[in-house]
Amino acid sequence: MAKPHDVVIGRIPVLECLRAGKRPARRLFYLASAQGLDELLHAARMVQSEPTDRQTLDRMTQGAMHQGVVLHADPLPVLDVKSWLSDLPRDGHVCAVMLDGIEDPQNFGSIIRSAAAFGASAVLFGKDRAAPLSPAAIKAAAGAAEYIDLVEAGNLARSLVLLKEAGFWCAGLEAEGAKDLWDADLKGRTLLIVGSEGKGMKRLLREACDFLVRIPIDGPITSLNAGVSAAIALAEWKRQTR
């Protein structure tokens, strides 16, 4: 029986998967007539590669935008909370992002990308009410999923308790939060919790936060989507701890 594999689509996600070496790449399919694939094919020089036609690639990706490349690779490693905590450095600034009810794969991938870009250690997400690590989410992350720990929590509230016991201060992003993001102390071990755009954080998580922070908005647009909000909060964490 063939081993299960992930389908990685898009030139940047495939290139970063090959470069990072986080998981074994098994087979690369690419459009025979495609241009500009020299760097990608060089990165795949140790991987079985097969030129093919657009119809075959379309079937493999169920019509998704693949940019002429499809990679079969082992699934991304997903950690549990306890094993992730056991490997954290004892000192220094650490940031992780917990996603509560982020079901849109574009937002999910965008947050993974921002977390990796700003040097966060992990993105935590629940088994339920969460976007899966689908090809769409991985493509939206633009290769960043290969460079950051992905942590699946069976129960977010119980996982939050474990993080607080491990010394994390928990800041929930909330439009009606009592404190401006710029005034929050994000040094040390910090967990940023991002709720869904519609319902926000669940009550248990909101009540367990050490503080709720809002992003000051003065313009005519009164709200931001979850991906943008997470990116702004991560940028502020980086500013405070750089």
pLDDT reported for residue 2:
41
Tell me the two tokens of residue 161: 């308790």
Give Cα separations from 111 to 25, 30, 136, 199, 215 (angstroms): 24, 28, 13, 18, 16
Selected from 3.40.50.10090, 3.30.479.10, 3.30.1330.30, 3.90.1150.10, the CATH number assigned to the domain covering 6-73 reads: 3.30.1330.30
Residue 92 gets the label, from left (phi > 0), alpha (psi -120 to 50) or beta, of left
> What dotted CATH number matches 81-241?
3.40.1280.10
Edge-first strand order for the sheet with 211-214 is 149-153, 122-126, 94-100, 189-195, 169-173, 211-214, 179-180
- The answer to whether 226 touches 204, Cβ cutoff 8 Å, is no
Distance from C-alpha of 110 to C-alpha of 139, rounded to nearest angstrom? 9
Local structure of residue 120 (DSSP, 8 states): -
Domain ranges of the chain: 6-73, 81-241
Sign of CA dihedral 124, 128, 129, 135: positive
Report the mean per-residue pLDDT for the chain.
91
Tell me the two tokens of residue 61: 């990706």
Per-residue pLDDT 10s for the chain (242 aa) are 345 578 999 999 999 999 999 999 999 999 999 999 999 999 999 999 999 999 999 999 988 889 999 999 999 999 999 999 999 988 889 999 999 989 889 999 999 999 999 999 999 999 876 667 788 888 899 999 999 999 999 899 999 999 999 999 999 999 888 899 999 999 999 999 999 877 888 999 999 999 999 999 888 887 889 999 999 999 999 999 98
For 109, how many CA atoms within 13 A lie in the half-sphere containing its CB? 15
Angle between helices 105-117 and 226-241 (to 10 degrees): 10
pLDDT reported for residue 4:
59
**Residue 189 φ then ψ, to 5°:** -95, 115
